[in-house]
Amino acid sequence: MKRILLAEDEAVLRMLIVDTLEDEDFIVDEAADGQEALDYLKLEKYDLVILDYMMPVYTGLELIEKIKAGETLGHSKILMLSAKSQAYEQERILLAGADYFMEKPFSPLKLLEKIEEIVNEA
Amino acid sequence: MRLSNYFRNSLSRQVILLISACLIFGLFGTAILFFLQQNLNHQYIENRKVLVEKRKTINTIYDEYNAVFLDIRGYVASNNPQMMERARGKEKGIRALISVLERDSVNISEISDYREMVEFSDYYFGDVLPNIITNYENGNHTEILDLANTETTMKVERFLKDTKAKSSALDNQLAKNVVELSKNQSNLQLIFIGFIVLFLLLVQYIIRMIFRNIGKPLIDFSFAANEIAAGREAVIHVDPKRKDELGMLSVAFQKMVESIQEKEQGLVAQNEELIAQQDELHAQQHELEVTLENLRLHEQKLTRRNELIHSISNTLNKKEVLQSVVQNMCKLIGADRGIIKLVEEDAYAAFGLTQIGIDRFIRFMDIGLVQRLFETKQAFTLKREQEIEEKGYHENINYSYDLYLPVLSSSHKVEAIMVFSRYGNNFSDKDLSEYEALARQIAISLEKIKMYEATESNRNLNQDILNAVQEGIQLIDQNGKMIQVNQRLNSIFNQKQLINGLIGLSWTEWSSLMAEQIEGDTFLVNLKKAIESAVNAEEEQSFVYCKKDTKQIMKVYAKTIYHGDDSLRTILVHRDITKEYEVDQMKSEFVSTVSHELRTPLASVLGFTELLLNKKLKPERKMKYLQTIYNEANRLTLLINDFLDVQRMESGKQTYEKKYVDLYPIIETTIEHQKVNTTLHHFVFKSGVHQSIIFGDKSKLEQVFTNLLSNSIKYSPNGGNVTVRINENPESVFIEIEDEGLGIPNDAIPHLFQKFYRVDNSDHRRIGGTGLGLAIVEEIVKASGGKITVESEYGKGSVFKLEFPRVITRELTKQTEGISSDLNYNIIVIEDDLSLAELLKLELLDSGFHVSYFSSGSQALEQMKTAAPDAIVLDILLEEDEMDGWSVMKELKGNERFKHIPIFVSTALDEKEQGFSLGAQEYLVKPYQPSQLSKVIMHTLLSNGKQGQILVPE
């Protein structure tokens, strides 16, 4: 069973992703803002962290910085979700250290495919 | 003979000859004496040398013999053969010495001495010595002794003695020689003295000769010259036969004396003649002085004229010019008083006049003698008796002469007039033409001033225009020097304190002054680039900079201007785009926000739809997803409506359907709607009234309260009370909406109602939104005549306070009930479109007017004859009638009884100008809001007042 952390402030989108993933036997922890996500990351080692870009307390980018700075337990793959779809924004996100990027609105089934691919790779 | 002539002809040659002879004599004498002296000395030294040499030889011979004798004796005594050999060896040396003596001998005694020595030597070395040696070797000592005791010894001794005597004789000879030398020398000195005496005598003779031949005649000449100069007779005693210069001089002198005497006589005659001429010259001089005086006067006149021209061309101040014209003209003319007055302007200058006189002159200028100047355009003079005040203490009749002089422009128009008066001296025609010439000069000067003033006012106008422009403008020449600048640019760069601001600064000065006040370091580079591209006529390159102090964002562009002389100038325009820039910033932020805000609900809608389509789901899950999709779609709709509202607000196209509305039920229902969205919040509605009627658009007002209440919920995420209060006073309705949420930081409050503004702090990040809600709220509140304020304590909650103008209930009651007779205004509607006519009629009835409706103009006019309405609503295109709206208007306005009735044109034709020119009160272009019509009619009738009030029965 693979563990996934989902940090997303929109409850509806959280529900969408969690419903999709839990049908496929992933264990998903949900965080509604940056702080919650950081708390989880300090307690648990995840196979994949899904981060929203725009989140209260810490943005997705700020969380990546903290992960890279070693404030959390071990290294996990990071997938960033963002409504900011311009090329330069994507570039910024990938440069900051995200491993994958997915644009909002996204297809939940494609997201699932991607996640399975990432997790199996690892 | 010839040679003697050569010397006789020249004094200098004679003198040179004498001196040369004297010098040659001296030199020869000295040379001979010197030679004698040298000879004497030489002889002496030669003699002495020979004698000393001889003496030395003799002494040596003596010594040698002595040595020989000693050796022989030693040989005999000690039997030393070596000694004997040595004695024999000396024979040769002695004989050589003797031969020297022989050679040097000079007299007979010396030769005999030498013979003696030779004889002795022969004797001694030939006879005695061999004898001794033979005897000694044979042992005949006695023999030797005999030999010694005999004449041999005597001979030897005598020889030695002789030799000694010869030596001393030579010494004596030497001493004798010295004495002889000194004697000779003293003789020579005597001869030298004698020679010098002889030389001096010769010199004295020569001097005497020179004095006699040259000096004396010269003295005679000088004496004679003095005598002649003094006018007396003189005789010269010089040998006339002399051929040298003095001879010639005496002949010339004699001739000169004669010629002087002749000339003197001639001079006496001439002198008399000259005295006569002098008298004549005196007369001529007098004449010249008179002419000179005339010239001086003329020059003075010219100087004054120059002064006049100089002074008037020296200044561009009109007052100064006029003053100097009148003063200089008076001086020039010799006038006692005068005035100049411009024809078209109220400018004048006077000299020697009182203010009263001046005023009177100007007042009667049009009717007096001056008028003649305008007609003839020629100067004229006037002779008149002096006024009593001009006469002073004179008793008899005196005359004054007035000069009237026009100043004609180049177009032969009278620009100014001049009048001058002088006492007792008439003006000649020549004077007049001269003065007219001066007047032309003055005219040129006045025209110059006129032109200057026109240019100056033009320049000022241009500067004013420049200064009025909101943009900072600067003009630079091809070297970058600042030529012109407007006030705005000076104030942008804080140069108000300088009189000319930035004008005149060089490129480096002004550009660095600007660069210092600008953020970043790209200004100079951009500036150069912009100017370059303007100069090369490339595509316009503008750039943007930010002021350090004010944080203004300025945009600069450059354009080149080619002046007439091809000199290149560049104009730079600095435009303040701070507002546009900020709006731009906000807009791009907004686009980013909108994109984010729209994408979130879209993601849900798309995502859940995808799940529904592709997965087998339980029915309750399907239900949940559908509900979510529905909610999110609604959210999208609301967002899009907000954006559209803002868009309309911005473009000014938002329309309001204003009616009288009761706020109470609106607020009540809004609260009910919001309750559904939250379980955390408790709503309290406190009302001091049951009805609060204002004039506004109901759906927009609902939007206001929905926005405010949903904000209250959104920004109090932890729940709490949301309290709504409604109260009113006779003028206003007050509503307060209070929450116990996050509150607003103080610095954010002033920006709260700005479009796209979002409170930026970490707490608020969780709260989504477009930054539009409050901007929309404020816009609607303002459009409804109200206002909105906010009070907040950060962390404790916020209170939004709204105030609307209250509508008096009684009025409203009647209005809503349709009882409108109280207003008692009669309105006629002329409109051929039935449905529109019905709509207008209903609207007007609603607003409380009496309404009659006609589909043609002629019908309406017919009706109006019985009862005139208070206002007419008129369509222009009336198809059912031969009369269109324009002719109805003309008819009405032409009628005394109807022309005061306001006409409200209501038409699809957009010809406002014609409508208003024919007398329309208001011109409404279809389609328009019917409420607008009743509003303008009401406004017009109420402000016209009287009629309506009189007609209102209470």
B628/B665 same-domain check? no
Chain B CB contacts of A12 under 8 Å are 601, 604, 628, 631-632
B176/B266 same-domain check? no
In a domain, residue B309? The reply is no
Domain final residue, candidates B302, B333, B350 = B302
Reported confidence tier of residue A29, pLDDT bands at 50, 70, 90: very high
B366/B501 same-domain check? no
B551/B624 same-domain check? no
Q: How many helices (H) and strands (E) does chain A have?
A: 5, 5
Contact flag B603-A55 (C-beta cutoff 8 Å):
no
Question: For B699-708, what is each residue's pLDDT tens digit?
Answer: 889 989 999 9
Chain A CB contacts of B608 under 8 Å are 16
Reported confidence tier of residue A73, pLDDT bands at 50, 70, 90: confident
B421/B320 same-domain check? yes
- Count CA atoms closer than 13 A to B855's CA, side-chain side: 8
Q: How far is CA B296 from CA B289, B293, B431, B505, B867, in A?
A: 10, 5, 18, 52, 99
Domain region containing B46: 4-209
CA distance A115 to chain B (A): 16
Give contacts of A 81-120 with B, CB under 8 A: 83-85, 104-109
Q: How many CB pairs under 8 A join A and B?
A: 63
Chain A CB contacts of B595 under 8 Å are 83-85
CA distance A88 to chain B (A): 13
Chain B CB contacts of A83 under 8 Å are 595-596, 599-600, 603
**Residue B638 maps to which CATH number?**
1.10.287.130
Give contacts of B 590-609 with A, CB under 8 A: 592, 595-596, 599-608
Q: How far is CA B648 from CA B593, B655, B657, in A?
A: 19, 9, 15
B133/B171 same-domain check? yes
In a domain, residue B223? The reply is no
Chain B CB contacts of A105 under 8 Å are 599, 602-603, 605-607
Is 70 exceeded by the pLDDT of residue B714?
yes
In a domain, residue B463? The reply is no
In a domain, residue B86? The reply is yes
Chain A CB contacts of B610 under 8 Å are 107-109
B381/B441 same-domain check? yes
Reported confidence tier of residue A122, pLDDT bands at 50, 70, 90: low
**Residue B837 maps to which CATH number?**
3.40.50.2300
Of the partner residues B592, B595, B607, the one whose CB lies closest to the CB of residue A108: B607
Chain B CB contacts of A57 under 8 Å are 762, 765-766
B846/B920 same-domain check? yes
In a domain, residue B216? The reply is no
When comparing pLDDT for B233 and B453, which is higher? B453
Contact flag A56-B766 (C-beta cutoff 8 Å):
yes
B669/B605 same-domain check? no
Question: For B494-504, what is each residue's pLDDT tens digit?
Answer: 876 666 677 88
B733/B756 same-domain check? yes
B335/B476 same-domain check? no
Asked if B349 and B358 count as a contact pair (C-beta separation under 8 A), the reply is: no
Which domains does chain A carry? Answer: 2-121 (3.40.50.2300)
Chain B CB contacts of A19 under 8 Å are 611, 621
B351/B275 same-domain check? no
When comparing pLDDT for B499 and B541, which is higher? B541
Least confident stretch, A24-33, B310-319, B409-418, B846-855: B310-319
Is 50 exceeded by the pLDDT of residue B953?
no
- Of all residues in chain A, the one with the smallest CA distance to B603 is A105
- A65 shares contact with chain B (CB less than 8 Å): no
Domain final residue, candidates B272, B302, B332 = B302
Name the domain count of chain B: 7
- B621 shares contact with chain A (CB less than 8 Å): yes
In a domain, residue B307? The reply is no
In a domain, residue B513? The reply is yes
| Sequence-separated (6 or more) residues with CB below 8 Å from residue B412 | B377
Q: What angle do CA B165, B171, B176 make, to 5 degrees?
A: 125
Task: Compute the distance between CA of residue A102 and CA of residue A58 in angstroms, rounded to an integer.
Answer: 19
Is 50 exceeded by the pLDDT of residue B812?
no
Contact flag B599-A19 (C-beta cutoff 8 Å):
no
What DSSP string describes B918-950?
HT-SEEEESS--HHHHHHHHHHHHHHH-HHHHH
Task: Compute the distance between CA of residue B954 and CA of residue B945 in angstroms, rounded to an integer.
Answer: 16
Task: Compute the distance between CA of residue B301 and CA of residue B942 in angstroms, rounded to an integer.
Answer: 81
Contact flag B596-A54 (C-beta cutoff 8 Å):
yes
Decide if the complex's ipTM is over 0.90: yes
Mean pLDDT score across all residues of chain B: 83
The residue-averaged pLDDT of B344-349 equals: 87
Contact flag B604-A57 (C-beta cutoff 8 Å):
no
Residue B497: what pLDDT?
Answer: 64
Task: Compute the distance between CA of residue B888 and CA of residue B876 in angstroms, rounded to an integer.
Answer: 9
Task: Compute the distance between CA of residue B563 and CA of residue B936 in angstroms, rounded to an integer.
Answer: 55
Reported confidence tier of residue B610, pLDDT bands at 50, 70, 90: very high
In a domain, residue B310? The reply is no
CA distance B719 to chain A (A): 18
Chain B CB contacts of A33 under 8 Å are 766
The residue-averaged pLDDT of B817-843 equals: 72
CA distance B728 to chain A (A): 41
Contact flag A56-B765 (C-beta cutoff 8 Å):
yes
Is 50 exceeded by the pLDDT of residue B952?
no
Give contacts of B 628-647 with A, CB under 8 A: 628, 631-632
Task: Compute the distance between CA of residue B890 and CA of residue B227 in angstroms, rounded to an integer.
Answer: 138
Q: Which residues on neighbouring strands pair with residue B752, listed in sequence order?
A: none
Domain final residue, candidates B536, B554, B576 = B576
Contact flag B608-A16 (C-beta cutoff 8 Å):
yes
Question: For B846-893, what is each residue's pLDDT tens digit?
Answer: 777 888 888 888 888 888 888 888 889 988 888 767 788 888 888 888
Contact flag A56-B604 (C-beta cutoff 8 Å):
no
